[in-house]
Amino acid sequence: MSECGTRAWLGQRHGRMTWRDRLGFLLQGVQARAATRRELQRGITFAHQNVDDIIPPDTPVTRAALALCEAAGPPWLVNHCLRAYLWARLLDKRTRSFDDEATYVALLLHDLGLTAQYRLSAESTQQCFTAAGADVAFALATQHGWPDRRAALAAEAIALHLNVTIADRHGPEAWLVRAGSGADIAGLGLHRVHSQDVEAVVHRHPRLGIKQEMTAVLATECHAHPGSRIAFLVQRLGFNALVRNARMFSE
């Protein structure tokens, strides 16, 4: 059986978690919280960066991905994707080089499955909304001439972004997509970011009531697909509480 969260797993399990998957998520949650406590105790922070200096790659494929994001998503979701890229760059540990273009494409399309246009029906065999964004990202990248291996970087990063943690073997792109999306939704990891940078990101792309909007969308998704990763995160790991209580964001 393929590893939980991968595209192969989505194909085999159709996004339905096994008891082993759930146990793994619980363990990852405990480990992630412990790691965060250790960092806070040590007072770890990243160096201040000028957010205005972070420029997303402007290429035909990123322009096409942004157009898809804006066409399908409401403004609050579009801004979430744009902020998530900035958080990813701010949280980048700079220990490994990464494919910036693939990372940006993945972050623009990572929540495509939550939009009305791409949302899975309750009767769908596939249970995980990440499958839609992963499939679109792979198709878009190959249409623009990317080899399958590179297109898979973006697609796998989208598929994996709901995992609690990302193993090193999945590459820096998957880690950055997970870090950027989690930072924007629940403030995860933002204890490492200078407060001025947090303010600058939100000023550049306002939040537009995302806490209320996202919790409502996720409630719908959990009801439609109770065996999915997002349902487990919300119902068993308190994800919506993390969203509501992210103290660095008022909305």
DSSP 141-188: HHHTT--HHHHHHHHHHHHHTTSSS--GGGHHHHHHHHHHHHHHHH-T
* 93 within a domain of the structure (yes/no): yes
* Confidence band of 152 (pLDDT split at 50, 70, 90): very high
DSSP state of 103: H
Q: Which domain holds residue 178?
A: 7-244
Predicted confidence at residue 32, as pLDDT, reads 85
* 83 within a domain of the structure (yes/no): yes
* 223 within a domain of the structure (yes/no): yes
Model confidence pLDDT, tens digit, residues 85-108:
999 999 998 778 999 999 999 999
Say if residue 43's pLDDT is above 90: no
* 2 within a domain of the structure (yes/no): no
Collapsing DSSP to helix, strand or coil, 46 comes out as coil
Number of domains in the chain: 1
Predicted confidence at residue 42, as pLDDT, reads 82
Say if residue 147's pLDDT is above 80: yes
> What letter represents residue 246's amino acid?
A
* 251 within a domain of the structure (yes/no): no
* 1 within a domain of the structure (yes/no): no
Name the least confident of 91-95, 223-227, 242-246.
91-95
Q: Across all residues in the chain, what is the average pLDDT? A: 94
Name the least confident of 43-57, 76-90, 220-234.
43-57
* pTM across the whole model: 0.95
Say if residue 47's pLDDT is above 80: no
Predicted confidence at residue 132, as pLDDT, reads 97
CA-based nearest residue to 188, from 139, 237, 121? 237
Overall average pLDDT of the 234-244 stretch:
91
Share of the chain above pLDDT 70, in %: 98
* 87 within a domain of the structure (yes/no): yes
CA-based nearest residue to 190, from 78, 81, 40? 40
* 250 within a domain of the structure (yes/no): no
Predicted confidence at residue 33, as pLDDT, reads 85
Name the least confident of 30-39, 83-92, 105-114, 117-126.
30-39
